[in-house]
Structure 1
Amino acid sequence: MRLKPFALIICLLLSPGLSIAAGKTVYGLNEYVNLSGINTEVAAKLDTGAKTASLSARDIERFKRDGETWVRFYLAIDDAHDNPIERPLARVSKIKRRSGDFDPEEQKTYTARPVIELKVCMGQAQRTIEVNLTDRSAFQYPLLIGSEALKRFNALVDPSLKYASGKPACATDATLGE
């Protein structure tokens, strides 16, 4: 008889956590993502240990347009675009270098990367996220989605799953969550 009140207390203590999880979408370790406006679908790695999102880009250059700083780049993926992509520069991020990436002559412990805002569709959710541009062609996934973007998607990541949300299926005029 003493176990019943104890079990009830445990259930009541655990229920707030369950209600928080109920409003989230479960994604796998890897998901297909549509890069809206670029009309490209890529496989992404969801990484809760990374803060920012990174997109594989090459020939990155900054330029001015109407007094604003913009970025021109090409996607650095297997079937890379022939046409450059141009987006306004949102900011410049400082990414911490790994010990093997440190150049003592530069004496910088970070790498400066341009950041753009990009609409992405994952599953049925479309969000605008910040993405830093860097050459990820040595990595298996051209897009890494970090914790800041995962928060925008209200995501729970189950590393035992892959492509849990299926192919991106966002409405073309979806602006939910922006």
Structure 2
Amino acid sequence: MLVLFLTCLPAMLQASEKTVYGLNEYALVVDINIEVAAKLDTGAKTASLSARDIERFKRDGEPWVRFYLAIDDAHQHPIEKPLSRISKIKRRSGDVDPDESKSYTARPVIELDLCMGKTLQSIEVNLTDRSAFQYPLLIGSEALKKYSALVDPSLKFAAGKPDCNIAANIVE
């Protein structure tokens, strides 16, 4: 029995350092000062934020992106952020245009400070129109790793409303 306990101890210690989140959580997008409901999706690699009228441009020779939140009619002001990179997102079989040879969609990626529960993280988010989906923010596995997250799909909003000390440093 002691051998079994000692064998399982490292896994138990690692699990105790994780935070349990539900399938859906509230998230504060600090950069934009908006709280949204998010879907936590361990099957997705990246995070996605609902955006429309996405336009890439140069500012002082650097790549930037301008967009509007595609959440509701209250968000009529453009948001401008430095462009981190372009992500290639694999298309689903029903999303592939037979006349187009690409099996992926190119999406601009930006860095955003996101508060979920009591944890503030800087994460990469790709921009795409998610207005057809219930949740305007999808948080994928790369971001979930930064949060040391365990996702319990039987829970919703387990972390409660975002409550981060914004004045504190962002966890890297």
What TM-score do the two structures reach when normalised by structure 2? 0.97
What is the root-mean-square deviation of aligned Cα atoms in Å? Answer: 0.9
Aligned length in residues: 172
Q: Does 1:144 align with 2:141?
A: no
Alignment-derived partner of residue 37 in structure 1: 31
Q: Give 1:171's match in structure 2, choosing from 149, 157, 165.
A: 165
For 2:30 and 2:106, how far apart are their aligned partners in 1? 25
Q: Does 1:58 align with 2:39?
A: no
Alignment-derived partner of residue 40 in structure 2: 46
Gaps of 5+ in 1: 1-6
Q: Name which one, 1 or 2, has greater alpha-carbon Rg.
A: 1
For 2:3 and 2:169, how far apart are their aligned partners in 1? 41
Amino acid at match of 2:75: H
Amino acid at match of 1:95: I
Amino acid at match of 2:148: N
Higher normalized strand content (fraction of residues) = 2
Secondary structure (helix, strand or coil) at the match of 2:94 reads helix
1:10-40, Cα deviation, whole Å (9 max, x unpaired): 2111111000011111111100000002110
Using the aligned pairs only, state the percent identity: 72
Alignment-derived partner of residue 12 in structure 1: 6
Secondary structure (helix, strand or coil) at the match of 1:55 reads strand
What TM-score do the two structures reach when normalised by structure 1? 0.94
Secondary structure (helix, strand or coil) at the match of 1:159 reads strand
Amino acid at match of 1:103: D
Alignment-derived partner of residue 101 in structure 1: 95
Moved over 3 A (4+): none
Aligned 8 A contact 1:74 1:80 in 2: no
